[in-house]
Amino acid sequence: MSGVRIGRQLLAAATGGIAVLAMTAGQATAAHATGRIATAHAADGAAEVVAKGLDSPRGLSFGPDGTLYIAESGHGGKVKCATPPAQEGEKPEKMCLGLTGRISTLKDGKTSVLIDGLPSAASGPFALGPHDVTFTAKGDLLVTVGFSGDTAFRAKLGPKAATLGTLLTISKKGRRISIADLAAYETKHNPDRKDKGSAVDSYPFGVAPLPGGGALVADTGGNSVLRVNKKGRVSTEAVLHARSVDAPPVLKLPKGSKVPMQSVPMGIAKGPDGAYYVAEHGGFPNPEGAARVLRLKNGKVTTAAGGFTTVADVTFDAKGRLVVLGSVGPLPADGMSKSTVYRIESDGTRTELLKPGTLTTPLGVAVGPDGAVYVADKAMAPGKGEVLRVPVPE
């Protein structure tokens, strides 16, 4: 299957629904272990659109002064087009490069473009470009630039595509400080190569800064978390291995057959306990309850919270509670699960905060200094993306 199609199917499943759940990092594992998932209902939260007209919005991050930074993947362009190889029976899907990716800001109700001219490769409305944004201790921006494939295909898109599949360090004035080439690392090392169904495919997604410089990056295509040191050198922090799950009926395999499900890390955030928490989006066939939030500390991976069907992003609120962007319940045949906002209380109860169906295709989440949850919605609608503010009652 082409990287383009894999990426589109992945994001379609990830953004088909959202469950935003909050619990303390210490309570996450305990609540998961007890299995207490009864749902309590609060007054419906009123989601407010605070930014619109965005170009495929993805990751969100608040700066020290309360400004919201938004990674926009753009809509490709006409710089150069190329077609990745497709499997037998599939229709090749052309991707076209443009410099329409950007980082925007939202401050005092006004949206502004901070940095533009970043690479974006698109196939129809599905764009690969800036996917996440956060800050170094010095206040520079860390920006992951998405991709789906290897360096050979990237080269076909021309020299202006060279920063697809990388981690950029950029000053707030737009000066490029350093580049870490994650696509080149995946092409050379393919960390999950021993897993059945593994392929060389780099898709840098979430990023979290490291103390003293550098960052951890969730590589969605590579099923790994990569470490980038302050000099830009890349190494493997953790491999998230495929798991064996029941084969879905659509494959028409004998009863009891198993198939490998890729782990697929997406968002990543540092927790109050010093560990890093990774949004693990379960790959095909997306069985109910198989997706998890993983805890990563000193290279060791454990489960912090489970029972999700998809998980796209994670963050923490001011009280140290884990906030998860994902979905629960069976995934409908069309892959578009209902959008809902929950908070998980200390006893494991989920409190519904937002009327199901409010969100369309959400992909990034952040908690603001006002305590509200902010969601990047319509992530695959170029020029029509939004950021929604969801009030969170105590």
User: Which residues have CB under 8 Å from 74's CB, separation 6+?
Assistant: 55, 56, 98, 99, 100, 101, 102, 118, 120, 122, 127, 129, 130, 382
| 388: DSSP letter | E
For every residue of 294-345, DSSP letters joined together read EEEETTEEEEEEEEESEEEEEEE-TTSEEEEEEE-SPPPTTS-PPPEEEEE-
- Helices (runs of H) and strands (runs of E) counted in the chain: 4, 30
4: Cα separation from own chain's centroid = 16
What's the rounded Cα separation, in Å, for the pair 335 and 347? 31
What's the rounded Cα separation, in Å, for the pair 62 and 71? 12
Look-up of token digits 């009123």 = 46
Question: What is the 3-state composition of the chain as percent helix, strand, coil, each rounded to the nearest 5?
Answer: 10, 45, 40
Give the β-pairing of 204-209 and 340-344.
unpaired
Residue numbers of the domain that contains 149: 3-390
What does the pLDDT read at residue 91?
A: 80
Give the residues across from 341 on adjacent strands: 20, 354
What does the pLDDT read at residue 322?
A: 87
How many independent structural domains does the chain possess?
A: 1
The answer to whether 82 touches 117, Cβ cutoff 8 Å, is: no
The answer to whether 23 touches 344, Cβ cutoff 8 Å, is: yes
Which structure tokens are listed for 381? 């609608």
Give the residues across from 107 on adjacent strands: 110
**pLDDT tens series, the chain, 394 aa:** 334 444 555 555 554 433 333 334 444 444 443 334 445 554 455 789 999 999 999 999 999 999 999 999 999 999 999 998 776 667 878 999 999 999 999 999 999 999 999 999 999 888 999 999 999 999 999 999 999 889 999 999 999 999 999 999 999 888 999 999 999 999 999 998 888 777 888 999 999 999 989 999 999 999 999 999 999 999 999 999 989 999 988 899 999 999 999 999 999 999 999 999 999 988 888 898 898 999 999 999 999 988 888 888 998 988 888 888 888 787 766 666 555 656 766 666 667 667 766 788 889 999 999 999 999 999 988 999 999 999 887 7
| 85: DSSP letter | -
From the list 364, 357, 317, 361, the residue with the least C-alpha distance to 339 is 357
Amino acid present at 70: I
From the list 47, 144, 98, 133, the residue with the least C-alpha distance to 362 is 47
Neighbours of 26 (CB within 10 A): 15
The answer, as to whether pTM is greater than 0.85, is yes
The phi and psi torsions of 210 (rounded to 5 degrees) equal -105, 145
Look-up of token digits 């919005």 = 57
User: Which residues have CB under 8 Å from 367's CB, separation 6+?
Assistant: 62, 315, 316, 317, 318, 323, 373, 374
Amino acid present at 10: L
What does the pLDDT read at residue 1?
A: 35
Q: Provide the 3-class DSSP secondary structure of residue 231.
A: coil
What does the pLDDT read at residue 87?
A: 66
Neighbours of 274 (CB within 10 A): 10
What does the pLDDT read at residue 19?
A: 32
Which structure tokens are listed for 58? 């993805």
The phi and psi torsions of 81 (rounded to 5 degrees) equal -120, 150
User: Which residues have CB under 8 Å from 300's CB, separation 6+?
Assistant: none
Task: Read off the CATH number of the domain in which 159 is found.
Answer: 2.130.10.10
What's the rounded Cα separation, in Å, for the pair 170 and 229? 15
What does the pLDDT read at residue 18?
A: 32
| 56: DSSP letter | S
